[in-house]
Structure 1
Amino acid sequence: MTADSELAVTGEGVTAPQGFEAAGVAAGLKSTGKPDVAVVVNRGPLKAGAAVFTSNRAKANPILWSQQAIRDGVVEAVVLNSGGANCFTGSFGFQTTHQTAERAAEILQVSPGDVLVCSTGLIGTGDETFRAKVLAGTEAALAELSPDGGIAASEAIMTTDSHAKRAVVTRDGWTIGGMAKGAGMLAPGLATMLVVVTTDAVLDAKELDTALRRATAVTFDRLDSDGCMSTNDQVTLLASGASGIRPDLDEFALALTELCADLAQQLQGDAEGASHDITIQVTHAASVADAVEVGRSVARNNLFKTAIFGNDPNWGRVLAAIGTTQASFDPYAVDVSFNGVRLCSAGAPDRPRDEVDLTPRPTLVVIDLKAGDAEATILTNDLTHDYVHENSAYSS
């Protein structure tokens, strides 16, 4: 990824709202010696939380733990580690997650069931050394908690990310802040990658859950970088109520969606090996579901993605991809445009391909189905040599 293509990283992230402390430390999980354990703590007065998780049936131990812990809507803290997914590590792995929550709870003097745990890294690895480093890192991070610790926390959750992702949205008297990690295995299933979002607004757990599902449905759930769904994906939303202000729920959901969209775009811009950030807009669909299905069929089409890598506006590959869906439309009535140039009209050639310039990183593909009034946007990226190399050497 080139420096001039990076989206701006905004503010302190999770510690921008009042009532939160965070930290990030190096516990030795990464061979690079970089930070790899992060903690976000809600100091209240409210301790409300909500979360959405990967819909992959293969779930990592932290997901299994956190799905149980979130049920009462009370979250005191989130502990996150990079450098190991703690997935398919048997009962030992679940005990490691449980002990992580217990260690954090003991130090914070809260219930272990109110501590969520997140992990990211290589699947199928984990031993006594891994457990010892996670537990020691949790202790060290909790000892360094600070209202200014959001930057360090966002750096500690990175794996193949080239830079940290943070965002802040401020409204009249209340704030939302967030951090995210993710550069590969980005495909939707309620949530994508690891994300922690905080707010000092006064909202209960049920309201947070409603707003979070509205926001993720149109942001993270429509980021489809490589069609590969992780075992560890989790988006967590915490509310401290420290502002003392109760916002209108619709207003809060809109602000939350804005923040999640910002983070999703940062994740798209840092996708492994990508040279193009591709926005696929599907218009005039019979339903939103149809628009999403059509957009995702293109986002997951390797022939299309390699064409974009080669700066080839191959609209035929778009039509071939959308023809595999069950969406309601006439393939011979569809228009397809690349970067503002309509190359296909009513299923036939329109403008010459050489009128399209695909050398810039941002790439816009518009698919007009002419079947209704619904629309949806899917974010993806191209498939490059660097992506293949990075993922072929990931565990080496």
Structure 2
Amino acid sequence: MNHAPEHHTPQGVTAAAGFRAVGITAGLKASGTPDLALVVNDGPAKNAAAVFTTNRVAAAPIHWSRKVIADGRAEAVILNSGGANACTGAEGHANTRATAEATADALGVDAGDLLVCSTGLIGEQLPMDKITAGIGTACAALEAGSGPDGGADAATAIMTTDSVPKQAGFSCAGYAIGGMAKGAGMLAPGLATMLVVITTDAALEAPELDAALRAATRVSFDRADSDGCMSTNDTVLLLASGASGIRPDLAEFTDGLTGVCTDLAHQLIADAEGAAHEISIRSFNAASEDDAEEVSRSVARSNLFKTAIFGQDPNWGRVLSAVGTTAAAFDPDELDVAINGVQVCRAGGIGEDRSLVDLAGRKVLVEIDLHAGEAEATIWTNDLTHDYVHENSAYSS
């Protein structure tokens, strides 16, 4: 089934009924660009689910939000860029609590129902005077009416090294799903490195939302692997207002949600730091989906392969070398590899002339036939460029 959202579907976190959003400048970033976002669920339902980073070094907002989401309920989410609030000790945890309490007080809700997300540099305390003042400004703007661009403003405010805001949407049979994401580096599961807020006006309970979200992220964000580096702050939230009154079939809803997540995941890879190529690595005829995923991911994490693509060199030997490091079932003498439609490797050996491969465009498709079964999986990644090295060598300076 085609997961791509419809062309004219409203985008972003305010696409679904029952949600308001705002993005403002609180002065957290030296650039003076927007850096604080707020998304509020006006109900009638306040059901929610979330998936978080599996990094054992998790940021303070992760610990807080895990507790908030445990009962499957959330009133709102406050998000800041300009500081990850990770590896900040007891003060960092206190600052997350203070952020939640200040936002909850301004909204007139329980702080225990307030989700918190942060993104930016690890190992620095947040300027809480600016955060607190910004919360007041954001809540006042929300109360005054954030207007039709509230969702877009929120998507802009959560950007860090992103070059563009990222939004997606889906609508079907009277209900809608909308979402925003940030992320341009440290993109590797569990989850890709990101903050994502997805909203829906479908009438679904928290356990249903949780099942749908985990199914959707497994084949979308978990398949985006830019640089093999996992963040301390990964968060994907799904909030449901029930405002449409529509209770969709769960499989149908999961399919629509997967479309939104896949769209956002592709946008993350397209905006990866310094990337010149967006690469899809499809392994097929595998003994299992896990095998196919392992093979594709091994290639996606090969710096030799990624630099070859940057140099427009269809060096298929680097593909086979990566495949050979996996535990997947295959016979090395039966492997086939195609790059942008040219079968450069046939039966584990030389195929068509590699000079026939055109890598001048941004899109690259690598297809690996394992000849071991019927399963398949695709991992999305990008090349490794001079710009990526430059940006990440100077990130904290």
TM-score, structure 1 as length reference: 0.96
What residue number does 1:18 align with? 17
The 8 Å contact of residues 103 and 135 in structure 1, kept in 2 or not, is answered as yes
1:268-304 per-position Cα deviation (integer Å, ceiling 9, x unaligned): 1000000000000000011011111100000000000
What residue number does 1:64 align with? 63
What residue number does 1:215 align with? 216
Amino acid at match of 2:279: I
Amino acid at match of 2:291: D
Amino acid at match of 2:179: G
What residue number does 1:44 align with? 43
- Separation in 2, partners of 1:10, 1:318: 38
Q: Percent identity?
A: 64
What residue number does 2:169 align with? 168
Q: Which moved more, 1:142-151 or 1:233-242?
A: 142-151
What residue number does 1:237 align with? 238
What residue number does 1:99 align with? 98
1:172-229 per-position Cα deviation (integer Å, ceiling 9, x unaligned): 1000000000000000104541000000000011000000000000000000000000
What residue number does 1:330 align with? 331
The 8 Å contact of residues 40 and 78 in structure 1, kept in 2 or not, is answered as yes
Gaps of 5+ in 1: 1-7
What residue number does 1:359 align with? 360
CA RMSD in angstroms, aligned pairs only: 1.2
Amino acid at match of 2:158: I
- Separation in 1, partners of 2:259, 2:156: 22
Amino acid at match of 2:347: A
The 8 Å contact of residues 157 and 181 in structure 1, kept in 2 or not, is answered as yes
- Separation in 2, partners of 1:331, 1:209: 40
The number of aligned residues is 387
Query: How much does 1:133 deviate?
Result: 1.3
Query: How much does 1:147 deviate?
Result: 5.5
Q: Which moved more, 1:138-147 or 1:259-268?
A: 138-147
Q: Which moved more, 1:328-337 or 1:362-371?
A: 328-337
The 8 Å contact of residues 176 and 200 in structure 1, kept in 2 or not, is answered as yes
1:120-141 per-position Cα deviation (integer Å, ceiling 9, x unaligned): 00000115xx111112212211
The 8 Å contact of residues 25 and 157 in structure 2, kept in 1 or not, is answered as yes
In the TM superposition, what are the counterparts of 1:279-294 in structure 2 within 5 Å?
279-294=280-295
- Separation in 1, partners of 2:132, 2:77: 14
- Separation in 1, partners of 2:131, 2:55: 25
What residue number does 1:371 align with? 372
- Separation in 2, partners of 1:333, 1:101: 56
Amino acid at match of 1:325: T
The 8 Å contact of residues 11 and 166 in structure 1, kept in 2 or not, is answered as no
- Separation in 2, partners of 1:86, 1:10: 35
Q: Which moved more, 1:142-151 or 1:281-290?
A: 142-151
SS of aligned partner of 1:134? helix
Query: How much does 1:9 deviate?
Result: 11
List structure 1 segments (4+ residues) > 6 angstroms apart after TM superposition: none
Query: How much does 1:104 deviate?
Result: 1.0
Residue 82 of structure 2 corresponds to residue 83 of structure 1: yes
- Separation in 1, partners of 2:333, 2:195: 41
The 8 Å contact of residues 329 and 371 in structure 1, kept in 2 or not, is answered as yes
What residue number does 1:4 align with? none
- Separation in 1, partners of 2:382, 2:10: 26
What residue number does 1:140 align with? 137
1:95-147 per-position Cα deviation (integer Å, ceiling 9, x unaligned): 000011111111111111100000000000115xx111112212211111235
SS of aligned partner of 1:383? coil
The 8 Å contact of residues 9 and 171 in structure 2, kept in 1 or not, is answered as no
Gaps of 5+ in 2: 1-6
- Separation in 2, partners of 1:9, 1:390: 35
Amino acid at match of 2:271: D
The 8 Å contact of residues 62 and 117 in structure 1, kept in 2 or not, is answered as yes
Amino acid at match of 1:21: R
The 8 Å contact of residues 50 and 210 in structure 2, kept in 1 or not, is answered as yes
SS of aligned partner of 2:13? helix
